Structure 1
Amino acid sequence: MENTQFWHIDFSLIQLGDYALSLIETLAASFCLLAFYLLRQNNQLTWPVAILSNFAYFLFFYQINLYGLMSLQVFLVVYNLITWLRGKGTTAPEIKRLSGMGLILSAIAIFMPTINLTILLAQVHELAPRWFPQPASFNFTDPLLAVSSIVATVLLAKHYLEAWLFWLGIYGLCVVIFAWTGVYLTAGVYMVLLGWAMREYLEWRVMLVKKR
């Protein structure tokens, strides 16, 4: 492609073998890591920086045909905007555990929409070829990650410990997909997030035990 506008993946900053590091991936990864660092500091700048990351990853996931994760960014923009405007803090959460029924309902909330989204994304390049000229990548895994992330975000907002187990699975699978796709910077970012989720899970579990 001859178009080198920044939102196109062919606008490369660095060429490392077969991997062309694009500007938009670099911006998305940088904003993402900065947002999670600010979150650890309980800084209200977390949310506008996270929104910038969502916008950048929306464009990037579109470029690599991960339309499920692309759609997820719309939900995350709304969530981060609401959280920012409400001025929520992240200290001293009232940690809870999901009941057996809660786990079952969470699984249903993940798999039922995932099936529908999988069917939609398998045909999206035929239904809207102007906007989606390329078929979706990872027709089942991509929607599964998107829907699981929404459920995990809701559970985390309600301070359920099991939300971090969801995130561990989500981030781990993301690392595999991004490495398989060849977007190594994003795979590295999600490895960092995987480690962060593990630490948060262990911290929350200790806090829950102390509360008892």
Structure 2
Amino acid sequence: MPAVNSQPRRARSGNQRDEAARLAVLHAADDLLVEHGFARLTIEAIARRAGVAKQTIYRWWPSKVEILLDTLIEDSEKRFAVPADKPSELRGYFRGYARFVTRDPAGKVLLALIAEAQHCPETAKSLHDRYLGPRRELERELLARGIETGEVSTALDLDAALDAVIGPIVYRALTGASVPRALVDALFDGLLKA
């Protein structure tokens, strides 16, 4: 009878390779979008840059929009999370939002997806369902806590107040204009100041 190996079984390295490939695809998509824009971003170019086969990409994502959404979601969580239970950080959050959409590659992904959503209902739905909707819920909760604690006040409902502050920031970023800190502060003070 053969001896039984008492050593614990090593995990297969396939998961590590899969995670490395997944990250390579996300980084490649993000980089190529910034370099060439949404229209010129292709699955072929992403595969080439990431060093993976196109079939690998199609096995995990049905489209470049879904790749970009995964990139956006991961990067947003790491670099621009909605502050939990800290309504005192609302002004800083909106300043951070302006920096995110004007300077961060993930912010460029967000802008590209917003622009594409204007022409493609599937992109609009996916962007809303996977990113904008869940993030808006967190923003709404943060703003509501700010109202409860008296740190902010608004005559508008929560969604309208958020739109009134975020809308001009996104508009300026989409048109390539800068978003000065003074503008963000004026929007915050005019719409949300306690």
Q: TM-score, normalised by structure 2?
A: 0.33
TM-score (norm: length of structure 1)? 0.31
